[in-house]
Structure 1
């Protein structure tokens, strides 16, 4: 069997946009980890998929620990369930190990020793500065003072908390804002097999390149994990439109068409769950280049029209009342003004704002 880009899109959309109404923890479990280094992305991602989800509901799920946020796969911030966080942490430990080894060049100890010490220190909430001080003290104690010089710099702030074992919360209590975080260890044992199965369940079908890009693990490791999963559950395989082989779980949901307009968050899974070449299932190549800036790594919030990413949007400012600017790419279907009523209502509920005006603009790409 061969799959087209439209086939791949329909199968993935069925998982990313469940038809059932779900509470916030169940919704996050259903759609998988959300990339949320932009804090509002979790609120927007849930509101766009489950209209009516409110800012207070998402905040409450964070506050109770029903969902958690932390630096995991690829060193990026993700929001997920505690169970999946442990699995993502196991993939992070594999995918980020080479970077840590290269940056720290430990001679008398190992990064595993450092990670264990960091988690013990973060048995209570710690600020970024406290974790960085702990890292430097640990290196002095275990590697010698002379070995620390020139080894940290700005990277030390990331190395102090980015190994995948610490969750974070905003010091000021605003989960939708970009305030300073503090960190604590979340105990749990995960597996890289479960991490790869999570991707297939929530984003599949996927190529080995998709799985490697998303997880941050190398292709060889991904191949080994897929072989183990195949032995256990029997993976489905199919040829894709790009001469790559796509794999999926045997009980995958049937394809689903998504009609109408959705306002997705920056770093949405329709962009970030796939290898760059695999994102063609949702958007044209030229549009992807416009949405994702190679200079600073930022992603414009995508506009989804009938299951295709065909533009972007902005709700600029920090006040409770904000104008909404929707931009659609030329030679795609123009979203109608009345089609924006529901996504605007979802946006308002998810962020707790009021949209003061809506403009629609075409952009040549």
Structure 2
């Protein structure tokens, strides 16, 4: 398969060729969650894939505990369905825990991590707390240790959830943590089937190599999992073996791809070891700070070719290469729909640079 064929397969499976009418929960499950360091980014991620999506629908899932925010794939914050969190966190736990090595690991000194984690869990079960509140409690119990490093240890080794109003449209607030199982009222899965998760990844992101699955999840040594599975295989132009589910969508590579606005950190840009299927050579994924729903990237003909940012005076589109008049018109039309979704009023759309 060439790059364009892989691009169109990815776009079709991500519902970026044509918006679909389905509940937000169904799309969240299909995508195996949305990356959510920027708390409001998932709202734009669902808007660009769903027809008729309203922010209140996703907000209700979060406040109703049907969807939850927490550290999952690659050790990064994701918004996933509650039932998926209970499956994914045990699988990803070693990835999350590995993030503690290095900077914080060197600062913890001789503190017993198991004891620290147990104390942190008890405090978070007592009531949700911010990291600063947790740090103050740890400092009181371990006055001779680095309280910040200890607080991060709790976050890495205790499966936690970020509770509302964090991530709720129209609300704001700091990241407040509690235990994941306590928040959802259900235990984490004891032996979650990783093969099922691999199939779900392929259905949303495939065809993909073993390295791609590892890049998405953060897990290693997955060849021994993937190769024995009964999966369809194809060859990339590079010669790499790509695995796929039997019913994975494979549209015609010449299928037109409309302009699409993606939020910060969208997994379309981050979930493959070989990102050529969506990133032009030499282009990196931007990782801006922010609360979400105010900036991101633009796909033109299926590839990342511009950035967008919402200002007080308008929506700014910054192309990375020259756009045709037709491409600019298409982007401008989609930008108008995004402004309407964001309830941003009659702001102009401006192009900068190219």
C-alpha distance in 1 between matches for 2:72 and 2:258:
33
Match of 2:98 in 1: 98
Match of 1:340 in 2: 332
Are the equivalent residues in 2 in contact too, given 1:15–1:30 (CA < 8 A)? no
- 1:234-249 matched pairs, under 5 angstroms: 234-249=230-245
Are the equivalent residues in 1 in contact too, given 2:19–2:51 (CA < 8 A)? no
Match of 2:258 in 1: 260
Work out which of the residue numbers 319, 330, 341 in structure 1 matches 2:321: 330
Match of 1:184 in 2: 178
Secondary structure of 2:340 counterpart? helix
C-alpha distance in 2 between matches for 1:196 and 1:243:
21
Unaligned runs of 5+ in 2: 182-187
Are the equivalent residues in 2 in contact too, given 1:39–1:178 (CA < 8 A)? no
Are the equivalent residues in 1 in contact too, given 2:99–2:156 (CA < 8 A)? no
C-alpha distance in 1 between matches for 2:136 and 2:79:
26
Secondary structure of 1:336 counterpart? helix
Cα 1:99/1:262, change in 2 over 3 Å: closer
Whose helix proportion is higher, 1 or 2? Answer: 1
Count of paired positions: 335
Match of 2:184 in 1: none
Are the equivalent residues in 1 in contact too, given 2:160–2:180 (CA < 8 A)? yes
Once the two structures are superposed, residues 169-193 of structure 1 have per-residue CA deviations (whole angstroms, 9 ceiling, x without a partner) of: 3457844666302122232314544
Once the two structures are superposed, residues 216-241 of structure 1 have per-residue CA deviations (whole angstroms, 9 ceiling, x without a partner) of: 122x2x2232245x0xxx01222223
Work out which of the residue numbers 207, 210, 215 in structure 2 matches 1:208: 210
Cα 1:294/1:35, change in 2 over 3 Å: closer
Are the equivalent residues in 2 in contact too, given 1:270–1:279 (CA < 8 A)? no
Match of 2:247 in 1: 251
Work out which of the residue numbers 272, 291, 297 in structure 2 matches 1:302: 297
TM normalised by structure 2 equals: 0.81
Are the equivalent residues in 1 in contact too, given 2:21–2:52 (CA < 8 A)? no
Secondary structure of 2:155 counterpart? coil
C-alpha distance in 2 between matches for 1:39 and 1:176:
11
Secondary structure of 2:204 counterpart? helix
Unaligned runs of 5+ in 1: none
Match of 1:53 in 2: 53
Match of 2:76 in 1: 76
C-alpha distance in 2 between matches for 1:176 and 1:109:
41
TM normalised by structure 1 equals: 0.79
C-alpha distance in 2 between matches for 1:197 and 1:342:
32
Cα 1:19/1:63, change in 2 over 3 Å: same
Match of 1:131 in 2: 134
C-alpha distance in 2 between matches for 1:106 and 1:245:
45
- 1:277-288 matched pairs, under 5 angstroms: 278-286=274-282, 288=283
C-alpha distance in 2 between matches for 1:119 and 1:195:
27
Superposition deviation, residue 333 in structure 1: 4.3
